[in-house]
Amino acid sequence: MSDYNAPFEIHVHGQVQLRPGVDFDQLQDALKPLWKYAGARSLADGAESAYEDEPGIQFDPKDRVLQICWTVRGDEDFRQSLDDMCMGLNELAEQGAAIEVTFYDTEFDEEEETDDDAEARDDFLMLFVGPTPAAIMQVQRDILVQDVVNLMERHFDGAELGGVVSEIDKLFSERFDALVNSLEIGKPPRGPGGSGGSGHGGGRRPRHLH
Could you tell me if 133 and 179 are in contact, meaning their C-beta atoms sit under 8 angstroms apart? yes
Q: What is the pLDDT of residues 100-152, one digit of tens each?
A: 999 999 887 655 554 555 677 899 999 999 999 989 999 999 999 889 999 99
pLDDT band at 66 (very low <50, low <70, confident <90, very high): very high
State whether residue 10 is helix, strand or coil: strand
DSSP one-letter string for 91-133: TTBSS-EEEEEEEEETT--TTT---TT-----EEEEEEE-SSH
8-131 is a CATH 3.90.380 domain: no
Mean per-residue pLDDT of the chain: 85
The DSSP code sequence of 147-159 is HHHHHHTTTS-GG
Strand partners, 60: 65
CA dist 44 to 16, 77, 157, Å?
18, 23, 48
- State the pTM of this model: 0.77
Residue 80 CA to residue 59 CA, distance in Å, equals 23
Element (H, E) at 207: none
With 60 as the cut, is the pLDDT of residue 80 above it?
A: yes
Q: Which amino acid would we find at residue 133?
A: P
Domain locations along the chain: 8-131, 132-210
Query: What does the pLDDT look like over 191-208, one tens digit per residue?
Result: 544 433 333 344 545 555
CA-derived radius of gyration, the chain = 21
Residue 195, classified by CB atoms within 10 Å of its CB into exposed (0-12), middle (13-18) or buried (19+), is: exposed
